[in-house]
Structure 1
Amino acid sequence: MMTTSPQSEATQPHRKRNKIWFWSLGIGFLLLGLFGGWLAIQFMTGWQSLTPPSYNGMVLQSPERMGDFTLASHTGEAVSLSDFRGQIVMLYFGYTYCPDVCPATLVELKNARNELGKYADDVQVIMVSVDPQRDTPEILADYLSYFDPSFIGLTGTEEELIAAATPYGVFFEANEGTVETGYTIDHTAAVLVIDRDGYLRMMYPFGMTSDQIAEDLAYLVRD
C-alpha cells in the first residue's frame, strides 16, 4: 500500500498557495492589459472631450443666450445670427480700413480654424463691419477673401450696427475725418465665441494666438 510521507504532505499546501498566487498574478496582468487597451481607445477617439477643460479665453461663468440680429452679408443677402445655430460662431466687430488690429485678428482666426482639420467646418467666423460708410458688401467680400473664403462679412446702417453690437458690450466710434480724407474707428477688439445653441460662452481679447484659440475650439466642437 502506498503511503504519503510527512514531507510530501507538508509541501501540498505550499503548492496550492503557489497555484493560487500564479492565477491571481495572471488575472491581474489580464485586467491591466484590458485597462491599458481601454485607455488607448479613449485617447484615439478624443479623450480630451471627456475631461473638463481649462480654457485659454475669458469664460462666462453663466453663459447667456444672445438675441438675434439680421444684417446684410458681403454677398448682399440678409443673414441672421441664428442662421448659424449648430456651429461655433467666432463673432468679431471690425472694419476693412483698420490698419493693424483687425487684420492681425483675422489671421489668427484663420490659422486657428485651419488647425481643427476635419472640424473646421463646425466653426464660422463672422466679421461685422463698424464702418457702414465705407464697407460696402463688395469691399467686405474682397477684403475677407484675402483671409479665408469661408469668412462672412456683415454690414448695415449705423443704427442696425449699434443694435447688434450693444447686447455684446461692443463699443465703436469713428474719429474725425471723412471718406475722402480717411479716418480710423475706435472699437472693441475682442472676439466673441457663441456656441452651437446660441449661447455666448467666452471672449478673446486682442493678442490671443491661433494655437490658444484652436485648443479651446477643439473642446467646443466636441461639446
Structure 2
Amino acid sequence: MTRFVRIAALALLVLLGAIWGAAWLNRNPGEGIGASLARLAGNTPPPSAGGVAMPAGVSLGGPFTLRDHTGRTVTDADYRGKLALIFFGFTFCPDVCPTELQAISQTMDLLGAQADQVQPLFITVDPERDTPAKLAEYVALFHPRITGLTGTPEQIAAAARAFRVYYAKSTPQGSSEYLMDHSAFTYLLGRDGRLRSLFRPGATPEEMAAAIRANLAT
C-alpha cells in the first residue's frame, strides 16, 4: 500500500510539474504563470467533468457532494458564480495546513471588497475525525469567509480523485495518533467551476491575489 501511495504521489508531482512547465514555456511577454495556465486551458476542448482538460487528456476538478461546517449538504454547483479557492487538508495537521490557510486568509484580506467574489473552501482528507462541528471550530481560526467541507470517506475520495489529490494515513513512530500525508496545492476555480490556476505550496498571498484579480472578469 505504501509503495502504491508513493507511486501515486510521484505521478501527481510529475503531472503538475509538466503543467507548470508548459505554462512557463508558453508565457506571453509580461504574463504570469497563472495567467498563462488559464490562457492555455481556454484553448483546450471543454472538459467532460467540469475541470480543465490538461495535456495528455488529464483533467483537474469535477463535481462533488459534501457537507459544509454547518451540516448542510452542498455540491460544487452551490459555489458557481464566484471564484473558488480550494485547499485539501485536515484539522490535526501540524504545519502545512495552518500555513496555507493563513496564506489564503491574507489573500482574502488583500482583495478587499473583491473578496466578496471569492469563496475559499477547505476540504478535509480526514473525514473520520473532521466532523462539521470540528471544521467550524477550525476554519473560524483563520477567516470568516472560509467554508469547511467534509463527507463520507467515499465522498472525500471522489472529490480528491477529481482534483488528483494524494492523501494517506501515516502514524509517526512512537505516536498513538495518526496524521495524514497529503499533497498541498491550492486550486483556483473560475465562476464556471473550471480550473484557472494552481498554486504551489508556499505561494504568497500576493501571488494568489494577483491571479484572482486577473480572473475576476472571466
In the superposition, the TM-score normalised over structure 2's length comes to 0.73
Match of 1:106 in 2: 101
Asked whether the equivalents of residues 71 and 160 of structure 1 are also in contact (C-alpha less than 8 Å), the reply is yes
Query: Structure 2: which 5+ runs fail to align?
Result: 1-27, 52-61
CA distance in 1 between partners of 2:216 and 2:29 (Å): 14
Q: CA offset at residue 69 of structure 1?
A: 0.9
Q: What secondary structure is seen at the aligned counterpart in 2 of 1:99?
A: coil
Which of these residues, 15, 18, 32, is aligned with residue 55 of structure 1?
A: 32
Which of these residues, 179, 200, 203, is aligned with residue 205 of structure 1?
A: 200
Q: CA offset at residue 128 of structure 1?
A: 0.6
Q: What percentage of residue pairs aligned between the two structures are identical?
A: 37
CA RMSD of aligned residues (A): 2.1
1:118-137 correspondence runs (5 A):
118-137=113-132
Which of these residues, 143, 153, 173, is aligned with residue 148 of structure 1?
A: 143
1:60-99 correspondence runs (5 A):
61-62=40-41, 64=47, 65-66=50-51, 67-99=62-94
Which of these residues, 155, 161, 186, is aligned with residue 156 of structure 2?
A: 161
| 1:188 matched to 2:165 | no
CA distance in 2 between partners of 1:74 and 1:56 (Å): 33
Q: What secondary structure is seen at the aligned counterpart in 2 of 1:219?
A: helix
Residues 50-80 of structure 1 show CA distances to partners (whole Å, capped at 9, x for unaligned) of x997235482532543331110111000011
Give, as a single letter, the amino acid of the residue that structure 1 aligns with 2:64: F
Give, as a single letter, the amino acid of the residue that structure 2 aligns with 1:170: V
Q: What secondary structure is seen at the aligned counterpart in 2 of 1:154?
A: strand
Q: Taking structure 1 as reference, are residues 72 and 212 closer, same or farther at Cα in structure 2, changes over 3 Å only?
A: same
Asked whether the equivalents of residues 144 and 152 of structure 1 are also in contact (C-alpha less than 8 Å), the reply is yes
1:4-43 correspondence runs (5 A):
none
Asked whether the equivalents of residues 56 and 212 of structure 1 are also in contact (C-alpha less than 8 Å), the reply is no
CA distance in 2 between partners of 1:203 and 1:141 (Å): 26
